Structure 1
Amino acid sequence: MITLNDVRKVYSSKVTIGPVDLKIPQGGITALVGPNGAGKSALLTMVGRLLGMDSGAIEVAGYDIASTKSRDLAKILSILRQENHFVTRLTVRQLVGFGRFPYSQGRLTTEDEEIISEAIDFLDLTELEGRYLDQLSGGQRQRAYVAMVLCQDTEFVLLDEPLNNLDMKHSVEMMKHLKTAAVSTGRTIIIVLHDINFAASYADYICAMKDGSVAEFGSPAEIMQPDTLTRIFDTPVSVIDGPSGPLACYF
């Protein structure tokens, strides 16, 4: 479980995240949704200890992220940010291998190599593992970054907009992969999504944010209500019954 108690981040007198009190259940996928500037990415990066809090406390599986050693935290929690800029020319396999650093410290074992191969195969990157990142499309690179995070083999995985640069086909494939990872390994995956319909289709829980605070938290069925979505996104939203569940219509 991930627990946030009175978490705050103050950017200015007009821009504040929190206070946030939230318990994210263990297992499955929890999607963070909301309009631009709602605080989704900021909250995720505070949980991942890449952004400092001004007050409050965050615990991941009982570990206080403020006091836990980085090497120990890296074996419990992994995070992928939106901005991924590797200036060194790396192959896909080399990039994914960075996920094993908390365990190998750069000296890969046979077990590490097996885990790297599993992550590459899982994201359908086998034919691309020898290519350099600058030879890939944006979507292919995005899949490689997600493979790197999964290769870290942590119980908690934080992903900030992993569908960036992915077309419809690969967005669906990515969400199916993440759902499989959550179900088959019991991982807890926290994911920032812009598309509420992807959240409704693949998430077990939805945390809807607005103006730096948690507006709603619940199952997709609880969140996918016209009044709720209209209030959160400040635009008229209707909900219809789709072939696989509720769909938000906002065009």
Structure 2
Amino acid sequence: MIGISGVSKSYGQTVVIDDVSLTLPKGGLTSIIGPNGAGKSTLMSMIARLLPIDRGTVMVDGLDVALTAGDALAKRLSILRQDNHLAARLTVSDLVSFGRYPYSKGRLTDEDRGHIERALTYLGLDELKHRFLDELSGGQRQRAFVAMVLAQDTDYMLFDEPLNNLDIRHAVAMMKLLRDAAKDLGKTVVVVLHDINFASCYSDHIVVMRRGRLFRQGVPEEIIREEILIETYETDFKVRDMDGNRIATFY
């Protein structure tokens, strides 16, 4: 599991994360939701050690992320950030091979190639693996980056707003893929999302951030409630049960 204890982050006089403590359960898909500026992406970046922690600790299966060697942490936890664009002209296969760097340092072994091929197949990219990234659609390109994370073969996979720039069809496909990866491959998937209904329909656990603090956490039935959403987003909501899911509409 990922244990977050008393974590804070400031930029000058502006507090972005304010004394957050929570446990992200092992297994399944956890969504982190909340309004803009709530600290969702900052918290995820500190979990992955992309940003230094001002105060507090983050533990991944008992390893302090601030003290663990980079290679060791990269074999336990992987992340796909929002700004996942590369200037270099790479094929899909080249990109996915980057996921094996913590193990091979660029010298791919047969085991590495096996992980790459399995990731390409799982993401349905076999026929595209020799194509350049700039020749792909937005949805195909996003799947290629997810395949890179999958090839890294970590127990914990973090995705910061993976639905950005995807249309509804590709967004649905992406959420199904992440949910299935958690279920079929035994991964722990943590996703920062803006869409409340995607979080409701595909999550096992939801964390709500508000003004840099933990506001609520629980299963979707506990979180997707009118009173919680209204206080979180300061907008009027109506929540309905539809086909076993809680769906929120705003007005």
Give TM-score scaled by structure 2 length: 0.97
> What are the equivalent positions in structure 2 for 1:60-99 lying under 5 Å apart?
60-99=60-99
**Shift of residue 111 of structure 1?**
1.9
Q: Deviations over 1:86-131 (max 9, x none)?
A: 1211000100010011111111122211211111121122221111
Mapped partners of 2:209, 2:12: distance in 1: 19
Mapped partners of 1:72, 1:14: distance in 2: 32
Counterpart position of 2:194: 194
Stretch moving more, 45-54 or 120-129? 120-129
Length, aligned pairs only = 251
Counterpart position of 1:132: 132
Mapped partners of 2:223, 2:139: distance in 1: 29
Question: Quick check: 2:9–2:55 contact (8 Å CA) kept in 1?
Answer: yes
Mapped partners of 1:164, 1:205: distance in 2: 21
Q: Which amino acid aligns with 2:115?
A: I
**Shift of residue 210 of structure 1?**
0.6
Question: Quick check: 1:142–1:164 contact (8 Å CA) kept in 2?
Answer: no
RMSD (CA atoms): 1.1
Q: Deviations over 1:192-243 (max 9, x none)?
A: 0110101111111000001001100000000011000111011001101112
Counterpart position of 2:208: 208
Q: Which amino acid aligns with 1:2?
A: I
Q: Which amino acid aligns with 1:224?
A: I
Q: Which amino acid aligns with 2:116?
A: I
Mapped partners of 1:139, 1:173: distance in 2: 9
**Any idea what SS the aligned residue of 1:153 has?**
coil
Counterpart position of 2:3: 3
Mapped partners of 2:13, 2:87: distance in 1: 36
Structure 2: stretches of 5+ with no match in the other structure: none
Structure 1: stretches of 5+ with no match in the other structure: none
Q: Which amino acid aligns with 2:75?
A: K
Counterpart position of 1:143: 143
**Any idea what SS the aligned residue of 2:166 has?**
coil
Mapped partners of 2:96, 2:84: distance in 1: 13
Q: Which amino acid aligns with 1:153?
A: D
Question: Quick check: 1:142–1:165 contact (8 Å CA) kept in 2?
Answer: no
Deviant stretches of 4+, over 4 Å: none
Counterpart position of 1:248: 248
Give TM-score scaled by structure 1 length: 0.97
- Give the percent of matched residue pairs that are identical in Structure 1 and Structure 2: 51
**Shift of residue 173 of structure 1?**
1.3
